[in-house]
Amino acid sequence: MTSALLLLSACSFLGGEEGMFRDRGGDYREAQVIPPMRIPNELDSYTIDELYVIPEQVALETVAFEDVPMPRPIETRRREGVIIQSLSDKRWILIDATPGQVWPRIRDYWTEIQIALDYENPGAGILETSWVEIGSDQDSRHKYRITIEPGLHPGYSEIYVLHLQNQRTDPIPTVITWPDVSSSDELELEMLRSVSQFLADRNDIYQASAASLLAGTIEAESKANIIQGDAGQSILELKVDYDRAWVQIRQALTTAEIDIVDENRDEATFNVRFAGIMEDEDEPGFFGRILGRGNSDETMPERDFSVRLLETGTAVNVVTEALDSSFDANQLKLELLQVINDNLT
């Protein structure tokens, strides 16, 4: 009994309102404003001047916080790294940095390997090298074009390389006509690997304070955006070609663990089963798990939907439609688009 009383006394001494280690989080509410220190005229005061002056009206009118506001969450879905992606005969570098951050790093790359640039257009994200010799090839001259584009999501960039080659015996062209594909796939891939390694070795690119203001106009809009159609319906707009859109939509459905019941590329349609999404309280602002999975009490029945791709000439529009008309599917249609968009890589 005595031991218990001693323990309670110790807890009271250490904690509580009067304890040594009491909670002082609200002490600022009782702080008083006192007159500033007066320094005699014959002495210097520069060392104790008020560097952070509190305006009088703020000190008098500020209302104490009842609850400390939470900071904005860090975007947890970012996939840091530099990756070379490919689809059919196309390859590009995917990097989790804005075009404005990537632009000066690409310029640094050419400076480091001592290759001059003949043309730069920061607004369009284009750099072109001068004619160069490669290895022991004495018969040909070579030229590279780098294009920096926004990624599917904000904060990402895609870097494309195009290689051009002609004979040294031919006159140097005054006007460059770039082909649709590189003259050499091997030299294009070699350059992509070299550039990606250069970027990967510079870990500060993700926190880079140096960014090109001119190149910042490239990132005005990402390649994947949920927009409103003419009839008011939600549409996922992808500014990529159809082949890439098809592959990436399928990959997004698989990554999100959405059941693909059927797919028909000729009809540009996926048939899927989807129950909806719920927001995870541990990760505000981002989707938690997909409803209808596992043994949770909050599971909901899965519904049948179609995911259809429509080519518009400038983009591929992705629309969702409920295959069952017995319920109001508007919210689930939007959630399905959001899940697909969130899982695009």
Tens of pLDDT, residue by residue, the chain (345 residues) = 555 444 445 455 445 566 555 666 667 677 777 777 777 776 655 445 554 445 555 444 545 555 555 544 444 444 557 899 998 889 999 998 889 889 999 999 999 999 999 999 998 999 999 999 888 888 899 999 999 999 998 889 999 999 999 998 888 888 899 999 999 999 999 999 999 999 988 755 544 445 555 555 665 578 999 999 888 889 999 999 999 999 999 999 999 999 999 999 999 999 999 988 865 544 444 444 444 444 444 567 889 999 999 999 889 999 999 998 888 888 999 999 999 999 998
How far, in Å, are 6, 11, 325 from residue 16 at the CA level?
Answer: 16, 8, 61
What architecture does CATH give domain 224-342? 2-Layer Sandwich (3.30)
The C-alpha atoms of residue 320 and residue 332 are separated, in whole angstroms, by 9
* Contact indicator for 260, 254 with CB cutoff of 8 Å: yes
**What phi and psi values does residue 167 have, to the nearest 5 degrees?**
-80, 140
Domain 82-219 sits in CATH 3.30.530.50: yes
> Which among 279, 268, 259, 338 has a CA at the least distance from the CA of 307?
268
* C-alpha neighbours within 13 Å on the C-beta side of residue 311: 12
**What is the reported pLDDT for 15?**
52
Parse the chain into domains and list their residue ranges: 2-61, 82-219, 224-342
